[in-house]
A and B are shown apart, each in its own frame.
Chain A
Amino acid sequence: MRHSSWSIVVRLAILLALAGLVLAFPWPAQAGTAERTVRVEARDYAFRPWRIEANTGDRLTIELASGDFVHGLHVEGYEVSLTAEPGQPASATFTADRPGTFRIRCSVPCGPLHPFMGGRLRVGPPVTFLRTLLLGFLAVVAGGLGFGRKARIAEDGGA
């Protein structure tokens, strides 16, 4: 059963269009912007809270307080960096104008598990995972629209 190249193009186009829709679908507008302050405690290779949440457009202040050593907090995407040690917290204020989920990493070596000390900043509605999950569904569909190629199963596997 061979598919014409036209039908392949059509299927691909539909899939890409759906993918675009998933990525760009505007989420309902949220409540208005605010001045938001979040105190993050860094201790034992963890940031608490792990995830900072804000609405798009909020004026966000992150205060970093350390509970054991000198730690850093670096927000990817926004390129905000802070360094703090016990007794000397630090803070930074910026406008969270770009929605999405951004990685937070510790930017000052603080022991062996330092490379895995991280957190998240989520700006806007919690849709990123949902979007990628839907894209995953589309990926399964895209792969599943296989071209019905028949192949023999060899009796004994491999070399």
Chain B
Amino acid sequence: MVLRRVTAEHLARLGLALVVVALPLGLAGAWVHAHTSQSATIVHARVSEDGGWLPGTLRARVEIPLQLQLVSDDVVHGFAIGRSGAPPVDLPPGQLVETTLTFSEPGTYTFYCTRWCGPAHWRMRGVIEVAGVQGQTASEPEPLYLSLGIDIDAPHPAAAVPALRPSASRAEALGVDLPEGNRSRQDFIRRSPAETWQSLRSDPSGAPLSDAQVWDLVARLWRSTTTAEALAEGRALYAQNCAACHGEAGAGDGVMASSVPPAGEALSVGAHLSGPADFTESSTLLGASSALLQGKILRGGMGTGMPYWGPILTEAQIWALTDYLWTFQFEE
């Protein structure tokens, strides 16, 4: 064995090896390790046009925490599990955010993006398949519009429209009680305001009232069957999810309106809307019941750009939204 003196050249080569071999290999190794880790799953968030959530399907088991490392690759996104109470997690571009999810029931959970990321924002959804033993969960009740047999794709013109914007507080001043059959929440959500007006109009207690005053009663029915909290929640949900297309003032002129494809040939009847619905248009909205609106929100519009919110919003949230939508027609 020949012993060589360690020369400056050797040291220099060692330094070089550290810098161009060890350093890159170390970094690359750390990267591979992070991406093959069993303990945490890296999920990339991109605008839908570039792939959306990658991966889009995750797997978990009940009661075993699922560790996620979420990172946005382009713009601000947000992460939330549909129909859960957990607050959303914002994803600033390029910054990895960790979150841990634990599921108590098996099933298919939808996760979605909570910050607007382009026209296809609502399509940015993924699923988590949670495996495990099925517990005692009550089955989902049938949505109201189905049990009532409402065709949510059919046009719903209002048979009557108010001349003046109805006001619930003006109705309070009338000092008239709402009659039986038009008093409870169930009464309100099953009928369209136009139908409610017809019903109140033909009721004997409504005889001394003018048409406008009966409309005010309709508004009062709406307001008395909802709460300030529900309206506030509805307002927040509308701003986050609906205003971009339907407009902040509900006129169907949101910034994304031009990106929404018009109602297409897939719709057999009622394809008269050529963009997001205008909630300020009395002749159409007042002909729709809250149940119909719930159905539209749940199922989305086939052939239109209206998203389906069933996997995302809870029933309570959708009812809060429908309650809020009436503020585009009625005064509190």
A88 touches B74 (CB 8 A): no
Chain B residues whose C-beta falls within 8 Å of the C-beta of A43 in the assembled complex: 255
A87 near B75: Cβ-Cβ < 8 Å? no
Q: State whether B118 touches A69 (Cβ < 8 A).
A: yes
Q: Verify A108–B76 contact, CB threshold 8 A.
A: yes
B26 within 8 A of A: no
Instruction: Choose one: B75, B119, B245; the contact of A70 (CB below 8 Å).
Output: B75
| Nearest-Cβ distance from residue B275 to partner chain A, whole angstroms | 15
Interface size class of chain A, counting residues whose CB lies under 8 Å from the partner chain: 10 to 19
CB distance from B101 to the nearest CB of A (A): 24
Contacting residues, chain A, for B243 (C-beta < 8 A): 86-88
Given contacts A69-B117, A86-B254, A87-B116, contact A109 B240 (CB under 8 A): no
In the complex, what residues of B have CB within 8 A of residue A110's CB?
A: 75-76
A-B contact count (CB 8 A): 59
The verdict on A66 contacting B116 (CB below 8 Å), with A87-B248, A87-B254, A109-B94 known, is yes
Closest to B239 in A: A88
A87 and B76 in contact, given A68-B118, A69-B117, A70-B116 (Cβ under 8 angstroms): no
Contact A69 B248 (CB under 8 A): no
User: Given that A67-B255, A70-B76, A109-B75 are contacting pairs, would A85 and B93 also be in contact in the complex, using a CB cutoff of 8 Å?
Assistant: no
Q: How far is the CB of B89 from chain A (nearest CB, A)?
A: 14
Q: Check A69 against B76 for contact (C-beta < 8 Å).
A: yes
Structural contact, B240 and A88, CB atoms closer than 8 A: yes
| Residue contact B75 to A86, C-beta cutoff 8 Å | no
Q: Which residues of B come within 8 Å of A, CB atoms?
A: 74-76, 92-94, 115-119, 121, 239-245, 248, 254-256
Query: Which 4 pairs, one residue from A and one from B, show the smallest C-beta to C-beta distance?
Result: A87-B243, A87-B244, A86-B244, A70-B76
Name 28 A/B residue pairs within 8 A (Cβ), A-sorted. A43-B255, A65-B255, A67-B255, A68-B255, A69-B118, A70-B75, A70-B76, A70-B115, A85-B244, A86-B116, A86-B243, A86-B244, A86-B254, A87-B240, A87-B241, A87-B242, A87-B243, A87-B245, A87-B248, A87-B254, A88-B240, A88-B243, A89-B248, A109-B92, A109-B94, A110-B75, A110-B76, A111-B75
